[in-house]
Structure 1
Amino acid sequence: MVSYEIVDFFRVKDIVNYRLKFQVPLSYSGVEIPGCTVKEIYVVANITQKYDEKLHDVRVFPEAKTNLVLPEKPKIICYVQGGPGFPCGVPLSSTAFTKVLLDRGYQILFLDQRGTGLSTPLEVGTFSHLLPQINGESKEEYASRQLKFIVNFRADSIVEDYEFVRKALGIEKWSLLGQSYGGFTSFTYLSKYDTSLKEVLVTGGVPPINFSPDDVHSATYARTRERNEHYYDKYPQDKLKVRNILTYLSKNKVTLPNGGNLSVERFQQLGLLFGASGGTDHIHQLVVKFDYDLSTFGFPTYQILNEVQNDSTFDTNVIYPLFLEAIYCDGTGLGKKSSEWSSDRLRYATENTKFVFSEDSDHEVYFTGEMVYKSLYEDFAELKKFKELAYALHNNKEWSSLYDAKRLYETKVPIVSATYVYDQFVDFDLTRAVKKEVFKGNGNLKQYISSEFFHNGVRADAEKVLGSLFDLLDCEID
Structure 2
Amino acid sequence: MSGIIIEAGKDHDIVNYRVQYELQLTYGNIGDKDSEKIIVCGVITQRYDDKIHKNINDLVGKPARDYLPKERKLITYLQGGPGFPCKFPGSGDSIVKVLLDRGYQIFWLDQRGTGYSTAIESRSLVEKFGGSTEEIVEYVLKFRADSIVQDCEQIRKDLLNDGKWSLLGQSYGGFCIFTYLSMFPDSIKEALITGGVPPVGHTPQDVYTATYARTTERNVHYYRKYPQDVEKVATIAKYLSDHVVELPNGGILSVERFQTLGLNFGHNGGTDEIHSIISKLHYDLQQASKRPAYSTLATIENMYSFDTNIIYALFQEAIYCEDDIKSEWSADSLRYHPNNVNYQYNPSANTPLYFTGEMVFKSMYKDYSELKCLEKVADALHKKHDWSQLYHVDTLRSLTWEKVPIVAATYVYDQYVDFDVTRAVKQQVFQGNGNLRQYITSEFFHNGIRANAEKVLGSLFDLLECEID
Q: TM-score, normalised by structure 1?
A: 0.94
Q: Give the 3-state SS of the residue equivalent to 1:319 in structure 2.
A: helix
Please state how far the C-alpha of 1:160 moved relative to its aligned partner.
Answer: 0.2
State how far apart, in whole Å, the 2-side matches of 1:144 and 1:62 are: 46
Query: For residue 43 of structure 1, what is the aligned residue in structure 2?
Result: 40
Query: For residue 184 of structure 1, what is the aligned residue in structure 2?
Result: 175
The one-letter amino acid of 2:294's match is Y
Please state how far the C-alpha of 1:443 moved relative to its aligned partner.
Answer: 1.0
Q: Deviations over 1:185-219 (max 9, x none)?
A: 00000000010000000000000000000000000
Alignment pair present for 1:277 and 2:268 = yes
State how far apart, in whole Å, the 2-side matches of 1:253 and 1:63 are: 53
State how far apart, in whole Å, the 2-side matches of 1:430 and 1:225 are: 17
State how far apart, in whole Å, the 1-side matches of 2:224 and 2:259 are: 18
Alignment pair present for 1:286 and 2:277 = yes
Query: For residue 101 of structure 2, what is the aligned residue in structure 1?
Result: 103
Query: For residue 136 of structure 1, what is the aligned residue in structure 2?
Result: none
Verify the 8 A CA contact 1:80 1:177 in the aligned structure 2. Answer: yes
Alignment pair present for 1:370 and 2:358 = yes
State how far apart, in whole Å, the 1-side matches of 2:340 and 2:383 are: 23
Verify the 8 A CA contact 1:223 1:422 in the aligned structure 2. Answer: yes
State how far apart, in whole Å, the 1-side matches of 2:30 and 2:326 are: 21
Q: Give the 3-state SS of the residue equivalent to 2:410 in structure 1.
A: strand
Q: 1:323 pairs with 309, 315, 320, which one?
A: 315
1:137-148 correspondence to structure 2 within 5 Å: 142-148=132-138
Please state how far the C-alpha of 1:126 moved relative to its aligned partner.
Answer: 2.7
The one-letter amino acid of 2:5's match is I
Please state how far the C-alpha of 1:337 moved relative to its aligned partner.
Answer: 2.1
Alignment pair present for 1:84 and 2:82 = yes
Please state how far the C-alpha of 1:124 moved relative to its aligned partner.
Answer: 2.0
Q: Deviations over 1:143-179 (max 9, x none)?
A: 1111111110000000000001111222410000000
Verify the 8 A CA contact 1:58 1:64 in the aligned structure 2. Answer: no
State how far apart, in whole Å, the 1-side matches of 2:61 and 2:49 are: 14
Q: 1:166 pairs with 131, 141, 156, which one?
A: 156
The one-letter amino acid of 1:401's match is Q
Q: RMSD in angstroms over aligned alpha carbons? A: 1.8
Q: 1:358 pairs with 318, 335, 346, which one?
A: 346
The one-letter amino acid of 2:12's match is K
The one-letter amino acid of 1:256's match is L
State how far apart, in whole Å, the 1-side matches of 2:201 and 2:430 are: 13
Verify the 8 A CA contact 2:2 2:63 in the aligned structure 1. Answer: no
Please state how far the C-alpha of 1:66 moved relative to its aligned partner.
Answer: 3.3
Alignment pair present for 1:472 and 2:463 = yes
Q: Give the 3-state SS of the residue equivalent to 2:284 in structure 1.
A: helix
State how far apart, in whole Å, the 1-side matches of 2:158 and 2:135 are: 31
State how far apart, in whole Å, the 1-side matches of 2:360 and 2:467 are: 39
The one-letter amino acid of 2:4's match is E
1:194-343 correspondence to structure 2 within 5 Å: 194-296=185-287, 297-331=289-323, 336-343=324-331
State how far apart, in whole Å, the 2-side matches of 1:305 and 1:476 are: 53
Query: For residue 129 of structure 2, what is the aligned residue in structure 1?
Result: 132
| Matched-pair identity in % | 55
Please state how far the C-alpha of 1:262 moved relative to its aligned partner.
Answer: 0.5
Stretch of structure 1 that moved more, 62-71 or 187-196: 62-71
Would the alpha carbon gap of residues 434 and 452 (structure 1) be closer, same or farther in structure 2, given more than 3 Å must change? same
Q: Give the 3-state SS of the residue equivalent to 1:229 in structure 2.
A: helix
State how far apart, in whole Å, the 1-side matches of 2:115 and 2:38 are: 13
Query: For residue 70 of structure 1, what is the aligned residue in structure 2?
Result: 68
Please state how far the C-alpha of 1:6 moved relative to its aligned partner.
Answer: 1.6
| Unpaired runs of at least 5, structure 2 | none
Verify the 8 A CA contact 2:322 2:386 in the aligned structure 1. Answer: no
Query: For residue 435 of structure 1, what is the aligned residue in structure 2?
Result: 426
Q: Give the 3-state SS of the residue equivalent to 1:466 in structure 2.
A: helix
Please state how far the C-alpha of 1:30 moved relative to its aligned partner.
Answer: 4.8
State how far apart, in whole Å, the 1-side matches of 2:467 and 2:174 are: 20
The one-letter amino acid of 1:433's match is A
Q: Give the 3-state SS of the residue equivalent to 2:198 in structure 1.
A: coil
Would the alpha carbon gap of residues 368 and 303 (structure 1) be closer, same or farther in structure 2, given more than 3 Å must change? same
Query: For residue 140 of structure 2, what is the aligned residue in structure 1?
Result: 150
- What count of residue pairs does the alignment treat as equivalent? 462
The one-letter amino acid of 1:120's match is T
Verify the 8 A CA contact 1:46 1:111 in the aligned structure 2. Answer: yes
Q: 1:112 pairs with 75, 88, 110, which one?
A: 110
Verify the 8 A CA contact 2:8 2:59 in the aligned structure 1. Answer: no
Off by >4 Å, runs of 4+ in structure 1: 61-65
Would the alpha carbon gap of residues 320 and 63 (structure 1) be closer, same or farther in structure 2, given more than 3 Å must change? closer
State how far apart, in whole Å, the 1-side matches of 2:150 and 2:60 are: 28
Would the alpha carbon gap of residues 368 and 477 (structure 1) be closer, same or farther in structure 2, given more than 3 Å must change? farther
State how far apart, in whole Å, the 1-side matches of 2:41 and 2:29 are: 21
Alignment pair present for 1:55 and 2:43 = no
